[in-house]
Amino acid sequence: MISMKTSYLYMTGWIACVSVCSLWGCASSPQAVGDAGITQAADGQVSGLVEVEGASYEEVFGAMREVIREYRFAINRVDGARGVITTYPKQTLGIGSPWDKEQTTIGQEFEDFANHQEREIRVQFEEGAQAGSVVRATIEVLVYRVHRPNWRVDSQSIRLSTHARSRDINGQIEPGSFREPIGQDQQLAHRLANEIHRKFGSESASE
């Protein structure tokens, strides 16, 4: 039977490991966020580029929706005429939810575990893709961190913890949380693009 001291040491080591890996994951995040909360690769090219030959626009569009659902994202907007697919925000617990497939590196696993983070996918097909011989699209995966300030932790039970709510200048209660864009998950965008290329037997245009 494990002693209380041993259990304490295990817990302390686990918390330290999570903290260090979380900081390492933050340090290895994409470059600074722009006005729209989107970053690009060092060479200026978006990593989630899809190029498919020998398939119709409808086939590639449908395959894109299928791949997004395979990653357990809920579809928000589907506009075939404008070539747009977007998803609702999806939270993951990193190492705490091994059934989620968003993370590419161990750093992301720990970062998502230590922070409340959400991802949204946006796919934009090029204009004229319906009539062209090559169907092109760009995949962007935006990452947001959810903040809940003024958290008052209960000393007896975490379930009894509350959040202090403040009022604005007009006396209205301010939201208890807010979302901050922290970058773009280019690695997930790259993997999604490769999934499409594999479905149609084409080489990855994002490599």
Query: pLDDT averaged over consecutive 10-residue blocks of the chain (207 residues)?
Result: 44 48 45 35 62 91 96 95 94 83 84 86 84 85 83 67 65 68 92 94 58
Domain 45-100+116-199, CATH number (from 3.30.310, 2.40.160, 2.60.40, 3.40.50): 3.30.310
pLDDT value at position 185?
92
98: exposed, middle or buried (Cβ count in 10 Å: 0-12, 13-18, 19+): exposed
Q: Give the model's pLDDT for residue 35.
A: 31
End-to-end CA distance of the chain: 51
CA distance 79 to 137: 14
Q: What is the pLDDT of residue 153?
A: 66
How far apart are alpha carbons 50 and 205 in whole angstroms? 6
Phi, psi of 61 (to 5 degrees): -60, -45
pLDDT on residue 138 = 95
pLDDT given for residue 168 in this prediction: 62
Give the per-residue pLDDT at 63.
96
| pLDDT given at position 189 | 95
Give the per-residue pLDDT at 57: 92
In the block, which residue shows the tokens 């617990």?
93
Give residue 173's pLDDT. 61
pLDDT for res 23:
47
Residues 6+ apart with CB under 8 A from 63: 196, 199, 200
Q: What is the pLDDT of residue 124?
A: 96
Q: Would residue 165 be called left, alpha or beta, if left means φ above 0 and alpha means ψ between -120 and 50 degrees?
A: beta
